[in-house]
Amino acid sequence: MTLTITTTLRRGALLGLALLLCAGSASAQLYKWTDANGKLHFSDTPPPDTGKVSKVKGANGGADAPNLPYTLSNAMRNHPVTLYTSSACTGCDAGRSYLREHGIPYAEKTVNTNADIDRLKAAGGDGSLPYITVGSAKMAGFEAGAWDAMLKNAQYPSSKMLPPGYQFAGAVAAAPVAPKPSAAELEAQRRAAAERTEQNRAPAAPEASPTAPPGFRF
């Protein structure tokens, strides 16, 4: 069978891609990304900031990474941002707006109860809000210049790089309250406790009398 040059090149490209995919499974990471011109790339090195990572696969076949530029997703992984806030807090509102305007994904935790305050203190806070942590860096109060420096040190991009339609996570309590058990769960717990009590009340089996040898009296 005669193969044209085009066919040969096409098969060679497919073979090269297959080899690259096989090599990726043995290495730490395999990156699949699209550049600014819409061209698809496979490589074992991180894409440039302008490339959109559509898939980041680990050696163990992990799930796809968020559809974010590499620089941003890498900063999020190594230096996650957590913002502690409270209601009727002007600085908290300013800090939240700052993070969103700069395209910084963050987790927001509200501080309203004594349990929330304990969690805030465990994170290094002294009770002042807003309180932000960027990896191991921490700061109470909002000051744009200081926050800029913290995020820059954590290698967050200086310009907003979030994709269109990105949804920031909603705020949750710093110390979430466990949900109350349902009626069915309470009934199951009651029955289990009753069964344990009944088992503890059951009389023990009588011990067997020792068998004496012939001619021996107790």
Q: Is the residue at 34 inside a domain? A: yes
Joined together, the tokens standing for residue 164 give: 């269109």
Cα-trace Rg, the chain: 31
pLDDT digit string (tens) for 160-213?
999 988 999 999 999 998 777 888 888 888 889 888 888 887 666 666 655 656
Q: Is the residue at 212 inside a domain? A: no
> Within this chain, do residues 60 and 85 fall inside the same structural domain, yes or no?
no
> Within this chain, do residues 56 and 134 fall inside the same structural domain, yes or no?
no
> Who wins on pLDDT, 104 or 22?
104
> Within this chain, do residues 82 and 167 fall inside the same structural domain, yes or no?
yes
Question: How confident is the model at residue 139, as a pLDDT?
Answer: 98
How many structural domains does the chain have?
A: 2
Question: How confident is the model at residue 182, as a pLDDT?
Answer: 84
Question: How confident is the model at residue 30, as a pLDDT?
Answer: 53
> Within this chain, do residues 46 and 110 fall inside the same structural domain, yes or no?
no
Q: Is the residue at 214 inside a domain? A: no
| Identity of the residue numbered 54 | S
> Within this chain, do residues 94 and 147 fall inside the same structural domain, yes or no?
yes
Strand, helix or coil for residue 131: strand
Q: Is the residue at 47 inside a domain? A: yes
* Domain coverage including residue 55: 14-65
> Within this chain, do residues 159 and 132 fall inside the same structural domain, yes or no?
yes
Joined together, the tokens standing for residue 112 give: 């309203």
> Within this chain, do residues 39 and 129 fall inside the same structural domain, yes or no?
no
**Phi, psi (rounded to 5 degrees) for 131:** -130, 130
The C-alpha atoms of residue 28 and residue 88 are separated, in whole angstroms, by: 46
> Within this chain, do residues 144 and 120 fall inside the same structural domain, yes or no?
yes
Span of 22-26, 86-90, 125-129 with lowest mean pLDDT: 22-26
> Who wins on pLDDT, 43 or 130?
130
> Within this chain, do residues 103 and 33 fall inside the same structural domain, yes or no?
no
pLDDT digit string (tens) for 39-95?
666 565 666 654 455 444 433 333 344 578 999 999 999 999 999 999 999 999 999
Q: Is the residue at 185 inside a domain? A: no
Say if pTM beats, i.e. exceeds, 0.75: no
- C-alpha distances in Å from residue 40, one per residue of 29, 65, 67, 107, 161: 17, 17, 14, 32, 19
> Within this chain, do residues 59 and 97 fall inside the same structural domain, yes or no?
no
Which pLDDT band holds residue 23 (cuts at 50, 70, 90)?
A: very low
Q: Is the residue at 43 inside a domain? A: yes
Which CATH number fits the domain that encloses residue 110? 3.40.30.10
